[in-house]
Each structure stands twice: as structure tokens, then as C-alpha cells.
Amino acid sequence: MADTSHNDIVTAAILVIGDEILSGRTKDKNIGHIAEYLTAIGIDLREVRVVPDVEAEIVAAVNALRARYAHVFTTGGIGPTHDDITADAIAKAFGVAIAVDERAVAMLLERIPKADLNEARLRMARIPKGATLIANSVSKAPGFSIGNVHVMAGVPSIMHAMLDALAPTLATGKKMHARSLAAGVKEGDLAGAFAAVQARFPDVSMGSYPSYQEGAGFTTTLVLRSRDEARLVDAEAEVSAMLADVKARLAGA
């Protein structure tokens, strides 16, 4: 793992592996969970990719992402069936061997009677050489980390348990703080004034997020983000004042 512990900014990508997400049959719930989790512990999620259960696609995505970001988190494809090819693809991406790992077998035997540990279930103990295991408190079959790539299950409750086990071992950065403001006016009415505030705070990221409800029309949420809480407080005060001005102008118009 890259030693990024002295950096303010530690980046990450998520790689979701699975035909079922691309077909639309299963709706992904892992991206949002991991995104929120990483933000909370001081890791900046910079990219997400979803790829099919095709070895060459997984290898290419893993290698592109691990070269670029401090951490890569994968979900899916580590079960016992023939369509679970993630562990082999990761081994190929790193150019290392893969074999049944006795530490992983020991974990499986905590849950599975030895007589039931057939060839298919032993597939879940196949781990690339040099990897560290990630404990799975839900169903025992482990995930693993190799280099800066962290390989987790696709089943949400199991992925959550693995992320909890993994998080304390990760290099993290300075946390990004955020403030949300309900604007109370339409985006088109605040956009000019909001851009002017953004120009005065180049170190605070300012976004505007509309939502729409049939009948109620548009509402706008402004989100300010910075690693510097003091700057965030100042920016929030200016944005609040800007919103008051905009509302007064609209009321007077």
C-alpha cells in the first residue's frame, strides 16, 4: 500500500464488477454506501467504474485505476460459482499466482462443516499471492487487499462488514467538511450571485443541486465543501447573505 499517511488528500476509486448491475436487474447500493463512508474517514472518491464479468475488462480497469488513485475498492464476483472471476482477474492484473490460501480455508471452516467444503466453496479461499485477508463477520468467506486494491463482496451487508474491518488499516487524509443550504429560490435566480461568491472562495468547492417534484416544482440545495472549517464558516456566511439579497431582489421585483 502506498504510504500516503502524510498527505492531506488521499484519493480512491470504486470498481463495481457485475453483469447484473449493467443489465439493470440488480440496482447497485454499494457505490453510495462506500462514497459516504470514504468521505467520512477522509478519503476522496474520484472515480467509479462498473464493468461486466469479463476478465480482460476487470484487468484493464483495475490496472488503470490502481495506477491513478491511492486506493481502489472493488465489489462483486468473489463467490463460489463459475461467474465469480474477480480473484483470478486481480491476480492477473498484478501478475501474481493465485491458489487456495490456508488462512482463508481456516476462516471458511469457522462457518462451513468440513464435509461441506467442496471444490466450489474452496474457490472462495483462492487468494492472489501476497494479499492480506479482509475479515467477513457475516458469512466468513474473506475479501482481500493486494497493493492498493481492496476486494470486497457484492452482497451489501457483507460488503459493509468488510469495509468496517478494512477501514482502520487504510491511509486516510484530511477530512472534507461540507455545509448544505436550502436555497429557497430557483437555480436560475441565484446562479450569477453564487458564481461571484465561488470566485471569492476558490479553495471552497461550491455546487448547486436542483431537485424537482411534480406540482411543487424545483427546489435548490447549495453544497459547500472544504478541508478548512474556518474558510467553510466564512463561505457559508457569504452564501447566506447572497441568498438573502437574491430573495430581497425577487420580492422587490
Contact 26, 20 (CB under 8 A): yes
Residues 57 to 86 in contact with its own copies, rule: CB under 8 A = 57, 79-84
**96 vs 117, beta carbon nearer its own copies:** 117
Contact between 155 and its own copies per CB under 8 A: yes
**90 vs 125, beta carbon nearer its own copies:** 125
Give the one residue of 36, 203, 228, 229 binding its own copies; rule: CB under 8 A: 36
> CA angle 73-74-79, nearest 5°?
140
Q: Give the nearest distance from C-beta 104 to its own copies in angstroms.
A: 14
Long-range contacts of 227-232 (CB under 8 A, 24+ apart): 227/8, 227/174, 227/175, 227/176, 227/177, 228/203, 228/204, 229/177, 231/201, 231/203, 231/204, 232/177, 232/178, 232/179, 232/204
Range in contact with its own copies (rule: CB under 8 A) among 85-93, 126-134, 176-184, 234-242: 176-184
Q: Site map for its own copies, 107-136, x if CB under 8 A?
A: -----x---x-xxxx-xx------------
Q: Site map for its own copies, 191-210, x if CB under 8 A?
A: xx-xx--x------xxxxxx
Contact between 252 and its own copies per CB under 8 A: no
> Which SS3 state, helix, strand or coil, does residue 12 take?
strand
Q: How many residues bind its own copies (CB under 8 A)?
A: 74
Length of the chain, in residues: 253
Contact between 246 and its own copies per CB under 8 A: no
> Is residue 84 exposed (0-12), middle (13-18) or buried (19+ Cβ within 10 Å)?
buried
Give the one residue of 127, 131, 176, 243 binding its own copies; rule: CB under 8 A: 176
Give the one residue of 212, 216, 230, 251 binding its own copies; rule: CB under 8 A: 212
Range in contact with its own copies (rule: CB under 8 A) among 44-52, 143-151, 164-172, 227-235: 44-52
> CA angle 233-236-242, nearest 5°?
145
Contact 11, 44 (CB under 8 A): yes
Contact 42, 5 (CB under 8 A): no
Range in contact with its own copies (rule: CB under 8 A) among 21-29, 85-93, 143-151, 233-241: 21-29
